[in-house]
Amino acid sequence: CRIVGVNRRTGKRWRNGRQATGSTRGAPPIRRPLSSAGPSRYLREADRIHIVDRLREKASIRQIASELGRSPSTISREIRRNGALWRGKDWVYRPHAAQSRADARRPRPKPGKIGQNPELRDFIQHHLERRWSPEQICQALRARFPDRPEMHVTHETVYQALYVQGRG
């Protein structure tokens, strides 16, 4: 509270959340950022900042990879994927922009193909009510809509739609 310059009571309310009262809505508590300790499958923002710092120091990709405990191909791919030419001559890497692009590429949970297409969903539901198997439904879709790949699904997709309904 002292660092931010707010009343202690206000700081506690920010930290712990606020209960709903007559005229005010409730607010959830402030979430602490997840610990960045330990290995991760994906590069974190701190890793990306380390990459850009070492690139400015003219370190090799292999050196950066060994410092981060990653494969050199991972670092190279990251720089290639999220780097850009600056004024047509210099290669620059911006770690914060790279992190936001990486976050945008991994939205979870992803919407399913059946849930996005009402025509496909209705077709599958109608045939399931007629007690067709998912394999039969998929073959019928390919026969009825040969030129429309958005109407083609595998039987596994139908099974997942049936058995993972709890996800919404």
Q: What is the pLDDT of residues 83-115, one digit of tens each?
A: 776 666 677 888 888 888 888 887 777 778 888
pTM of the prediction? 0.48
User: Tokens at residue 142, please?
Assistant: 């390919």
Residue 42's pLDDT band (cuts 50, 70, 90): confident
Tell me the pLDDT band of 133, cut-offs 50, 70 and 90: very high
Long-range contacts of 47-56 (CB under 8 A, 24+ apart): 48/78, 48/82, 48/93, 48/95, 48/96, 48/98, 48/99, 49/95, 51/75, 51/78, 51/79, 51/93, 51/95, 52/93, 52/94, 52/95, 55/79, 55/93
Residues 6+ apart with CB under 8 A from 28: 17
Q: Which two tokens stand for residue 8?
A: 């202690």
State phi, psi for 93 to the nearest 5 degrees: -130, 120
> Which residue in 46, 40, 62 sits closest to 95, CA to CA?
46
pLDDT higher than 90, residue 63: yes
Q: Which of 15-19, 95-99, 137-141, 153-157 has the lowest mean pLDDT?
A: 15-19
How confident is the prediction for the chain on average, in pLDDT? 82
